[in-house]
């Protein structure tokens, strides 16, 4: 991967006619920057207030973001967090999300450049979710909560401004998608029957952040499953077997199964663990080999899948049950979400650090 | 008046140089590195064969870029063993097809890696992805990446048309390899 040999970087400042939103929006538009929505002008005092929540040299080069190999410092992240309207207490989440996206297994070079409508989903776990006002309940992925909305937006602004994911040049997404504006929520640990998702991935920290680069959520509605959790899981499996998803030809791809608390409770009441849910879905989200071969001449599959020859054999939608990740988010109601993957990318969970 | 920061930081890629361009192509060996995109093999093989007929070069390798030269994933770099084979058995590389976003990113990535080890490499892209290919070339440190811009789309176009497109592009392909014309 391309890296920079710089150790520090000081961002440029320019003069604006005034501190109002119109002048700042015009400046961004002239330079082909921004997400099209009004922003908060990143004057020095606002950026400094953001940086007050971070430890370490604000101008230390931390990593770069692909495809542009844009330089990331704490100050660069703070500037974009101010633009997005973030409160300073949420800044460590933005920084940790970007740290995660810079990891090689995310393959941000491909994630940002692809024609597929992929956007990073940011999930916030643990103490900071509550302390910084993130929302895990009803409408968690929707509008109305400042922390969720602005942190997701800050991540997108960093993709546009630093990673170079500008539509038509560094981002070739055929349609884009609404989740490219903002896509962030907290895990609803208070109503989850299981341990924290971060802990289940081996991240034992007071606060953590997960990023998963996938499509927008696909809904699963099941109000009929009282007493029979298989009905919930079979509907989720149905949502996982769409031939239009990149998961179909790419077997290392993950799914995020975002269970509503009511569905999660129905499953746990029958004794199912998080791992049981993944195993059931691995076993039931399947399509015949012949169907997959007909639709995909090239299949980026695990080797064991390539040697199956019976066209009637039911093939799993992903090569390993562990690729099916289960997390609880949302409020009352009989809905859950499936978030498929772009494909050649892995989710990352990191402890929150400044 | 008020002072504000600009949010776009700076790109930090290491600068890369093109491999030296051979003055003539006679006797040189050409590899076709196929990323598995539909019809990539058809159009790039036709281009390589047309180049060989015109110049006296030979087509020495036609392979997919995945492990063992088999099923390729267009959104990751070329398999290291296949990369080594191409370097050992060819002097020039045609890679692609760069006719989507992530496959363009990684076709350009592969081409740059070949240029670094002295193998001039042309990326077969299309009119609809030329801007993406040029932006990514600059992002990755080699704005002068050799791009052969073909009509769009490659996937879904019949073989006879693709062959005609490839043959019509032979002069440009020769110029890209010999450094005789700007890409």
pLDDT band at A348 (very low <50, low <70, confident <90, very high): very high
Q: How far apart are the first and last CA of chain A?
A: 24
pLDDT at position A1, please? 39
Which SS3 state, helix, strand or coil, does residue B126 take?
A: strand
pLDDT at position B14, please? 84
pLDDT band at A130 (very low <50, low <70, confident <90, very high): very high
Of B5, B8, B135, the CB nearest to A162: B8
Contact B112, B123 (CB under 8 A): no
> What burial class does residue A338 get, using C-beta atoms within 10 Å of its C-beta: 0-12 exposed, 13-18 middle, 19+ buried?
buried
Q: Report CB contact under 8 Å: A2, B75.
A: no
Q: What is the mean pLDDT of residues A3-24?
A: 89
Distance CA B100, CA B112 (A): 18
pLDDT band at B181 (very low <50, low <70, confident <90, very high): low
Closest CA to B73 of A310, A107, A168: A107
Closest CA to B60 of B91, B95, B30: B30
Which SS3 state, helix, strand or coil, does residue B15 take?
A: coil
**Residue A310 falls in which region: left (phi positive, over 0), alpha (psi -120 to 50) or beta:** beta
Say what the alpha-carbon torsion angle A163, A164, A167, A169 is, to the nearest 10 degrees: -130
| Digit-coded pLDDT (tens) for A63-101 | 999 999 999 999 999 999 999 999 999 999 999 999 999
Tokens of A95: 């920084």
Contact B154, B132 (CB under 8 A): no
Chain A residues with CB-CB distance to B123 below 8 A: none
Chain A residues with CB-CB distance to B99 below 8 A: none
pLDDT above 50: residue A174? yes
pLDDT at position A225, please? 67
> What burial class does residue B10 get, using C-beta atoms within 10 Å of its C-beta: 0-12 exposed, 13-18 middle, 19+ buried?
middle
The residue behind tokens 């959520």 is A217
Which SS3 state, helix, strand or coil, does residue A169 take?
A: coil
The residue behind tokens 């031939």 is A243
- Taking the model in full, what pTM does it have? 0.95
Q: Is A75 on the interface with B (CB under 8 A)?
A: yes
Quote the minimal CA–CA distance from A71 to chain B in Å.
Answer: 6
| Digit-coded pLDDT (tens) for A188-205 | 999 999 999 999 999 999
| Digit-coded pLDDT (tens) for A234-267 | 999 999 999 999 999 999 999 999 999 999 999 9
Which DSSP letter does residue B127 get? G
| Digit-coded pLDDT (tens) for A204-227 | 999 999 999 999 999 999 987 666
Which is it for the CA torsion A289, A295, A301, A307, positive or negative? positive
pLDDT above 90: residue A2? no
Distance CA A147, CA A204 (A): 23
Q: Is A302 on the interface with B (CB under 8 A)?
A: no
Tokens of B153: 């789309």
Distance CA A329, CA A248 (A): 25
Of B1, B73, B101, the CB nearest to A300: B73
Contact A218, A239 (CB under 8 A): yes
Q: Is A68 on the interface with B (CB under 8 A)?
A: yes
User: What is each CA distance from A259 to A182, A277, A333, in whole angstroms?
Assistant: 20, 11, 11
Query: CA A100: distance to chain centroid?
Result: 10
| Digit-coded pLDDT (tens) for B81-103 | 999 999 999 999 999 999 999 99
pLDDT band at B12 (very low <50, low <70, confident <90, very high): confident
Q: What is the chain B residue with the closest CA to A68?
A: B139
pLDDT above 90: residue B136? yes
- Strand-pair category, A348-351 with A314-316: unpaired
| Digit-coded pLDDT (tens) for A292-341 | 999 998 888 988 999 999 999 999 999 999 999 999 999 999 999 999 99
**DSSP letter string, A85-144:** T--GGGHHHHHHHHHHHTSGGG-HHHHHH-SS--EEEEEEEEHHHHHTT---STTTTSSS
Chain A residues with CB-CB distance to B75 below 8 A: 107, 110, 114, 343-344
Quote the minimal CA–CA distance from B28 to chain A in Å.
Answer: 30
Q: Which of residues 174-233 of A touch B (CB under 8 A)?
A: none
Cross-strand pairs, A207: A126
Q: Which of residues 78-137 of A touch B (CB under 8 A)?
A: 79-80, 83, 107, 109-111, 113-116
Q: Report CB contact under 8 Å: B102, A161.
A: no
Distance CA A68, CA B136 (A): 7
pLDDT band at B125 (very low <50, low <70, confident <90, very high): very high
Chain B residues with CB-CB distance to A12 below 8 A: 5-6
């Amino acid at each position: 991967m391309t890296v920079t040999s710089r150790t520090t970087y000081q961002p440029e400042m320019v003069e604006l006619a005034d501190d109002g939103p119109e002048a700042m929006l015009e400046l961004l538009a002239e330079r082909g920057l921004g997400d099209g929505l009004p922003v908060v002008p990143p004057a020095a005092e606002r950026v400094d207030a953001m940086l007050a929540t971070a430890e370490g040299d604000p101008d230390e080069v931390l990593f770069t973001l692909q495809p542009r190999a844009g330089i990331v410092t704490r100050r660069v992240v703070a500037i974009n967090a101010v633009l997005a309207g973030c409160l300073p207490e949420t800044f460590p989440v933005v920084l940790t999300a970007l740290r995660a996206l810079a990891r090689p297994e995310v393959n941000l070079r491909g994630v940002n450049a692809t024609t597929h409508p992929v956007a990073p989903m940011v999930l916030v776990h643990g103490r900071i979710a509550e302390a910084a006002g993130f929302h895990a309940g009803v409408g968690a992925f929707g509008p109305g909560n400042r922390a969720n909305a602005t942190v997701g937006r800050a991540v997108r602004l960093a993709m546009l401004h630093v990673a170079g994911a500008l539509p038509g040049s560094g981002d070739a997404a055929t349609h884009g998608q609404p989740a490219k504006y903002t896509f962030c929520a907290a895990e609803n640990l208070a109503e989850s029957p299981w341990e924290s998702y971060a802990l289940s991935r081996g991240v034992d920290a007071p606060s953590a952040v997960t990023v998963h680069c996938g499509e927008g959520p696909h809904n699963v509605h099941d109000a009929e499953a009282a007493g029979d959790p298989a009905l919930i899981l079979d509907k989720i499996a149905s949502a996982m077997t769409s031939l239009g998803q990149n998961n179909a030809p790419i077997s290392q791809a993950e799914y995020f199964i975002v269970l509503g608390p009511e569905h999660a409770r129905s499953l746990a009441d029958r004794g199912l663990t998080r791992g049981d849910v993944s195993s059931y879905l691995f076993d039931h989200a399947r399509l015949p080999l012949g169907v997959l071969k007909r639709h995909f001449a090239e299949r980026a599959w695990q080797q064991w899948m390539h040697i199956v020859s019976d066209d009637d054999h039911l093939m799993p939608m992903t090569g390993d049950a562990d690729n099916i990740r289960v997390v609880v988010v949302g409020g009352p109601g009989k809905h859950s979400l499936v978030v498929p993957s772009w494909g050649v990318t892995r989710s990352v969970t990191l402890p929150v650090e400044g | 008046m008020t002072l504000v920061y600009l949010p776009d930081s700076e790109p930090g890629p290491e600068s890369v140089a093109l491999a030296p361009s051979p003055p003539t192509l006679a006797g040189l060996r050409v590899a076709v590195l196929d990323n598995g995109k539909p019809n990539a093999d058809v159009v790039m093989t036709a281009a390589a064969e047309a180049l060989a007929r015109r110049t006296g070069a030979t087509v020495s390798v036609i392979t997919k870029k995945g492990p063992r030269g088999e099923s390729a994933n267009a959104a990751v770099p070329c398999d290291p063993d296949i990369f080594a084979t191409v370097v050992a058995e060819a002097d020039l590389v045609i890679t692609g097809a760069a006719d989507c976003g992530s496959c363009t990113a990684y076709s350009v990535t592969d081409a740059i890696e070949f240029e670094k080890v002295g193998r001039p490499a042309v990326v077969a892209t299309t009119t609809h992805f030329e801007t993406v290919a040029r932006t990514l070339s600059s992002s990755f440190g080699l704005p002068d990446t050799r791009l052969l811009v073909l009509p769009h789309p490659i996937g879904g176009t019949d073989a006879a048309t693709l062959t005609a497109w490839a043959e019509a592009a032979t002069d440009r392909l020769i110029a890209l390899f010999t450094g005789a014309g700007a890409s």
